[in-house]
Amino acid sequence: MASGSGTHILALPFPLQGHINPMLQLCKTLITKGIRVTLVTTVFISSSLQIQASTTSNLINIETIPDAATTTSEGDVYQVFINNFKETITQGLPRLIEKHKQSSYPAKAIVYDSVLPWTLDIAHQLGLKGAVLFTQPCTVCSIFYHMKQGTLKIPNEDEGSDIMLPAMPPLKLKDLPSLIYDIGAYTALFNLLIDQFSTYRDADWRLFNTFDKLEDEILKWITSEGPILTIGPTIPPLHTDDIEYGLSLFKPDAEAYLKWLETKENGSVVYVSFGSLVTPGEKQMEEIARGLVESNCFFLWVVRASEESKLPPDFVLEKGLIVNWCSQLQVLAHPAVGCFVTHCGWNSTLEALSFGVPMVAMAQWTDQTTTAKLIADVWQIGVRTKADENDFVTREEIAGSVREIMQEERGNEIRRNASKWKQLAKEAVSEGGSSHKNITEFVIQLSGS
């Protein structure tokens, strides 16, 4: 019998694709262990969510909170989004919890995204326990933790000296999350990431979407600040029978691209995607386009509808295919795919790692710059593109990086490392593996709480 039978929990993801996916997969894994899950979001967000072909996601009960009437339009676009989401949830979540208390399945706990730390206070006030889920690498979270504690000293850009932090490799300035060395217009996002730790010590569980061997040293260090549970990688086919996460804010193109992949030889296609948020400038888009052509490889490139107008007008797709959105899991699992040009979003990175696909790490911002460092220098499962002082990457650099993986000797070494990490990721979530044990332990504790 499933160990968590009957226990009901709520789950509150931050409403961006890169945060919804790991939360959703955790929920589905918990469902397979007998936990009853209600995913909470706003009416506005739920109207954009598409249900994908998936088995266990059908078992998730979704409950919506009406959007707050007192929304604000003050501040930058991120500040407005963050404030309005917080306003809606702080008004609606207590009512939802109270309503559940009257039902036959009152919720015992809430799993919430680490960028919504104030959720813990609401939960505790109403007698629920709180589990915080970190959806970025533990290395990145630890860097923000040091920022919050004031133990990270930022050198001048031209100093070029190493930044030494406990349990981390020596880091250069541009290996830090970009918001630390180039906050630009993103003060709201910077504060969101720093504030993740405002209720860290009071959380009943701290869950990280990573696995023991992947970030071993830093995980040991963070454990010295309080116990944690690693539960990753939260990639659907590793945990459940699903080929999709289950809910998407984007509608995938018709599946012609999968048929196109079928016509290609194993390992011959470069898959290119920059996730759900990144918006490269027009000049950078042109360099990516020209670089892919110059590499002379087949390529499948996700260009979101909002970015399409940035493609060069004379761009001819002889060996390439462009889609607005795809099933990335199915693409990465396809044997035709030989490398992934990625912005190094944490989900994309864990997905490529779990399917053993080597990466060209072309980080754009936030946590991605640190993840690129890990991909290239620590795990050695990809190459990192070199950028100029304005973070611009040339077509020659892109083509050269792709060829390094697809055609040169270094590519063989990277592929061997990628197979090793694929195996280790699988072991972590398999019976007896570290993440598997931690999820089982979490279910036992939830059921007993």
Q: At its nearest, how many Å lie between ligand UDX and the CB of residue 250?
A: 7
Cβ atoms of 346 and 340 closer than 8 Å: no
- Is residue 345 part of the contact set for ligand UDX (CB under 6 A)? yes
Provide the sign of the torsion angle of the four alpha carbons 27, 32, 37, 42, taken in this order.
positive
- Is residue 347 part of the contact set for ligand UDX (CB under 6 A)? yes
Q: At its nearest, how many Å lie between ligand UDX and the CB of residue 66?
A: 26
Q: At its nearest, how many Å lie between ligand UDX and the CB of residue 343?
A: 6
**Dist CA 444 CA 449 (whole Å):** 9
**Among 8, 19, 343, 436, which one carries the catalytic annotation?**
19
Which residue, 197 or 325, has its beta carbon nearer to ligand UDX? Answer: 325
Q: Tally the residues of the chain.
A: 449
| Contact pattern for ligand UDX over residues 113 through 152, marking x by CB under 6 A | ----------------------xx----------------
Instruction: Say how many residues touch ligand UDX, by CB under 6 A.
Output: 26
Find the part of the chain contacting ligand UDX (CB under 6 A) among 10-18, 146-154, 157-165, 410-418: 10-18
Name the amino acid, one letter, at 431.
E
**Dist CA 243 CA 259 (whole Å):** 17
- Is residue 18 part of the contact set for ligand UDX (CB under 6 A)? yes
| Contact pattern for ligand UDX over residues 295 through 334, marking x by CB under 6 A | -------x----------------------xxxxx-----
What does DSSP assign to residue 202? Answer: G
Query: Strand pairing of 269-273 and 298-302?
Result: parallel
**Dist CA 348 CA 359 (whole Å):** 10
Active site residue 19: yes
Neighbours of 138 (CB within 10 A): 26
**Dist CA 139 CA 169 (whole Å):** 10
Binder of ligand UDX out of 19, 28, 36, 436 (CB under 6 A):
19
Binder of ligand UDX out of 197, 221, 299, 346 (CB under 6 A):
346
* Cα→Cα distances 198→1, 105, 438, Å: 38, 30, 24
Binder of ligand UDX out of 284, 348, 369, 435 (CB under 6 A):
348
Cβ atoms of 244 and 52 closer than 8 Å: yes
Find the part of the chain contacting ligand UDX (CB under 6 A) among 124-132, 215-223, 284-292, 360-368: 360-368
- What is the side-by-side strand order in the sheet with 337-342? 320-323, 298-302, 269-273, 337-342, 359-361, 382-384
Which residue, 332 or 383, has its beta carbon nearer to ligand UDX? Answer: 332
Q: At its nearest, how many Å lie between ligand UDX and the CB of residue 366?
A: 5
Q: At its nearest, how many Å lie between ligand UDX and the CB of residue 115?
A: 10
Which residue, 135 or 230, has its beta carbon nearer to ligand UDX? Answer: 135
Find the part of the chain contacting ligand UDX (CB under 6 A) among 80-88, 155-163, 274-282, 440-448: 274-282
Q: Is 344 left (phi over 0), alpha (psi -120 to 50) or beta?
A: left
Which residue, 7 or 328, has its beta carbon nearer to ligand UDX? Answer: 328
**Among 100, 113, 146, 175, which one carries the catalytic annotation?**
113
Which residue, 240 or 276, has its beta carbon nearer to ligand UDX? Answer: 276
Nearest in space to 321 (alpha carbons), one of 255, 257, 395: 257
Binder of ligand UDX out of 367, 380, 385, 429 (CB under 6 A):
367
Query: Which residues lie across from 230 on neighbouring strands?
Result: 208
**Dist CA 26 CA 24 (whole Å):** 5
**Dist CA 319 CA 15 (whole Å):** 36
Which residue, 218 or 446, has its beta carbon nearer to ligand UDX? Answer: 218
Copy the structure tokens of residue 330.
């199915």
Name the amino acid, one letter, at 50.
Q
- Is residue 404 part of the contact set for ligand UDX (CB under 6 A)? no
Cβ atoms of 351 and 235 closer than 8 Å: yes
- Is residue 368 part of the contact set for ligand UDX (CB under 6 A)? yes
Cβ atoms of 256 and 327 closer than 8 Å: no
Which residue, 40 or 189, has its beta carbon nearer to ligand UDX? Answer: 189
Residue 298, H or E segment: strand 298-302
List residues binding ligand UDX (CB under 6 A).
16-19, 21, 135-136, 273, 275-278, 302, 325-329, 345-348, 351, 366-368
Give me the active site residues, please.
19, 113
